[in-house]
Amino acid sequence: MWRLPRVLRVPAVAFGFLGAWLGILLPGLAGAAEVVVYSARHYGQEAAFEAFTKKTGIQVKVFNGNTGELFERLKSEDERTPADVLLTVDAGNLWNAARAGLLAKIDSPQLEANVPGHLRDPENRWVGLTVRARTIMYNTAKVKPSELSSYEALGDPKWQGRLCLRTSSYIYNQSLLATMIKRHGESRTEEIARGWVANKPTLINSDTKILEAIAAGQCDVGLTNHYYLARLVSKNPSFPVAPFWANQQTTGTHVNVSGAGVTAHAKNRANAIKFLEYLSSPEAQQLFADLSFEYPANPQAAVNPLVARWGKFKRDDINVAAAGELQAAAVKLADRVGYK
């Protein structure tokens, strides 16, 4: 007898057709315990979802799309949406979803116990599930760690023509600038960004390509999320790039999250909360860390051994919601200083 897979993955745009098709072929399925996930995160999650189903008997249906597509879908579907959970990357995106009224408040002592406060929405509408550090990457043959210190110091003239950055239009760097505004104020952050621009950075719209450019000698230093390097090193242990943990003497290295919230019109709200609680547990966090090379949000889970070799570091503990709160200010600041 044909069975529906535990984790069903289809593009969000196909949902209407697929739902009608399943309703015709499997009329009894509607009574099954389930949780429907709209996901803009496309890697390292399947094992955790399958483990949740095995543990609870609740089926997980996953509909994939990019963040913009899923936001628009939730807005247009409104209370008709089948989605119970929105899963996406970057606290800026989560903050925007909450502000648009797409997420509902969650009262869960278990989530509060599993995830540190600065990785959760202050109003409990979303929670971080994995942590990524956006830090300095350097060519190990051309740069000594003693030459590096902070994000601010990348504006030193010695890095002119040697710096690679992702474009300011991408949310990872918008979130970095937004968090810096929260930490340092707008005037100081503008100074820092002007220093980067003065060094005439090579702009590349891909973290992986930035790392490859550093390895090839196109630039000597850059800023990327740590797990992009882990992916490359896992395939090529001699890849000549290493991370330097920025701002260890001051505010700590910038961190961000991928995370999730329960949708405002969830039909399976109780299952959705159980799902998030499970994903924040040490068991699921370990699965995330092992497969995606991200840091667990739950400090009780272990770090992937490859990433652990890079050592522990001081993290900026400012609430990651600042990435969304000051996103518009960060975009305007980048425009003012000519950071394209």
Residue listed under structure tokens 């949000």: 297
Same domain, 180 and 219: yes
Residue 1 resides in a domain: no
Contacts of 220 (CB under 8 A, 6+ apart): 138, 139, 142, 143, 159, 162, 163, 214
What total of structural domains would you count in the chain? 2
Same domain, 109 and 182: no
Same domain, 225 and 287: no
Task: From first to last of the 340 residues of the chain, give the pLDDT tens digit.
Answer: 333 344 444 454 444 434 433 433 343 344 579 999 999 998 778 999 999 999 999 999 999 999 999 999 999 999 999 999 999 999 999 999 999 999 999 999 999 999 999 999 999 999 999 999 999 999 999 999 999 999 999 999 999 999 999 999 999 999 999 999 999 999 999 999 999 999 999 999 999 999 999 999 999 999 999 999 999 999 999 999 999 999 999 999 999 999 999 999 999 999 999 999 999 999 999 999 999 999 999 999 999 999 999 999 999 999 999 999 999 999 999 999 999 9
Cβ atoms of residues 37 and 63 within 8 Å = yes
DSSP assignment of 270-336 equals HHHHHHHHHHTSHHHHHHHHHHH-PEESSTTSPPPHHHHTT---PBP-S-TTHHHHTHHHHHHHHHH
User: Any idea what the CATH number is for the domain that residue 52 is in?
Assistant: 3.40.190.10
Q: CA dihedral defined by 258, 259, 264, 265, rounded to 10 degrees?
A: 100
Continuous H helices in 2-124: 15-25, 46-56, 67-77, 91-99, 109-114
Has this prediction a pTM greater than 0.85?
A: yes
Same domain, 154 and 246: yes
Same domain, 172 and 83: no
Residue 96 resides in a domain: yes
Which range of residues forms the domain containing residue 153? 132-254+312-337
Same domain, 185 and 262: no
Residue 193's nearest CA partner among 18, 2, 338 is 338
Residue 98 resides in a domain: yes
